[in-house]
Amino acid sequence: MGDSSENSKRVKLSDGRFLAYRESGVPKEEAKYKIILVHGFGSSKDMNFSASKKPDLDFVSQELIQELGVYLLFYDRSGYGKSDSNAKRSLKSEVNDIVELADQLEIGPKFYLIGLSMGSYPTWGCLKHIPRRLSGVAFVAPVVNYLWPSLPNELIKEDYMGGLIEWGLRISKFAPRLLHWLVILIQKVLPSTSSVLESKQVYFNSHDMEVLKRTTGFPMFTKEKLRERDVFDTLRDDFVACFGQWDFEPEDLSITQESNVHIWHGKEDKVVPFQLQRCVLQKQPLINYHEIPQGGHLIVHYDGTCDAVLRALLLGEEQKVYKPVLDETM
């Protein structure tokens, strides 16, 4: 069914690629709830997902996992971590990878999905293409596709990220070598740091910046990694698939109360403004929306957020969070 190398289990997909994964929580044969987690841009199957102030590899409150009977399946999306790259990456191919992974590991006919940040586009794709396989879905700080026709033009124009993404898409498609050269050039003028993200304070609030000082969840965003062509190609292809033209937008989906869909977003998110999520909600009012007043883009790393996400998704409970794990002086 798969192989194992350097502590990574892998399954072989129908097109010959290998997909790496790790399992956590209770054994799947004993689990009441089975969840696949979809990591974001530059992350991996070792992404942080925590309900505890004491981070570890699983980054989830073990007491809660045992209490609820939760099986967690993390995987490296194509080109990330120990998974093979996919030259034909698309929204649909990301959905197919999730389906094949679930089937090969025999987790059952239905499962839950949690998509983090840019891991939201495979998650939206699953809502479109395999809704009957989903017991529920949680988006945490999801990105939006600026090509969605239903997004107001005036709001997109006000959001500087929309312009950056449009610029990035054009260069990614027509001059990828130039884009790689620009990335390397820009790094030379940034402050010396192990993570490129730590120098991007314009994208993160003060709580996020504290998270970046202590998390190891972004292995592909070091200056050394970004110079590698295969790493750059993976990030570029992922970016294009996420922000390129889709065959649907959220308002086209048939979401009911039984669909059990949640969005968690920070009101101080500088990567994806919360106003864009509210536009999505106008088209899909049956989505359960949870807004964290002082939350930035990295809310998944705040103390209590993941605990609340699991309880809302699995039990329908609403909890207050969500204090960032910070010094008392912050």
Mean pLDDT of the chain: 81
Q: What is the pLDDT of residues 245-297, one digit of tens each?
A: 899 998 899 999 999 999 999 999 988 989 999 999 999 999 999 999 989 99
Region 171-184 average pLDDT: 51
> Is 329 among the domain residues?
no
State the CATH number of the domain containing residue 79. 3.40.50.1820
Q: Is 213 within the bounds of a domain?
A: yes
What's the pLDDT at 194?
Answer: 43
User: What pLDDT is stored for residue 303 in this prediction?
Assistant: 81
The answer to whether position 88 is within a domain reads: yes
Which residues does residue 23 pair with via DSSP β-bridges, in sequence order? Answer: 73
Strand ranges for 168-271 from DSSP E: 261-266
- Residue 187 is inside which H or E element, if any? helix 176-188
Domains in the chain: how many in total?
1
Residue 328 to residues 60, 213, 303, 323, 324, Cα–Cα distance (Å): 23, 16, 13, 11, 10
Tokens of 83: 């998974």
Sheet holding 70-75, edge to edge: 2-5, 8-12, 18-25, 70-75, 33-38, 111-116, 134-140, 261-266, 288-292
Question: What would the DSSP string read from start to end of 294-329?
Answer: T--TTGGGSTTHHHHHHHHHHH---------S--TT
Domain span at 126: 10-322
Least confident of 137-146, 259-268, 314-323: 314-323
Whether the predicted pLDDT of 162 surpasses 70? no
- Both ends of the chain: CA-CA distance in Å? 49
Q: Is residue 44 part of a domain?
A: yes
Give the type of residue at 257. Q
Instruction: Give the bridge partners for 9, in sequence order.
Output: 4, 21
pLDDT tens per residue across span 3-17:
444 456 999 999 999
pLDDT(325) > 60? no
CA distance 274 to 328: 26
User: What pLDDT, in 10s, does the model give residues 209-219?
Assistant: 887 777 655 66
- 2 inside domain: no
Q: In this structure, what token pair is assigned to residue 135?
A: 């017991």
Is 81 inside any structural domain?
yes
Q: Considering the domain boundaries, does residue 229 fall inside one?
A: yes
Residue 43 belongs to some domain of the structure: yes
Residue 160 has pLDDT above 80, yes or no: no
- HSE at residue 15, side-chain half, CA atoms within 13 A, is 15
Average pLDDT of 96-125? 97
Pair of tokens at residue 96: 């197919």
Q: Which pair of tokens denotes residue 137? A: 């879905």
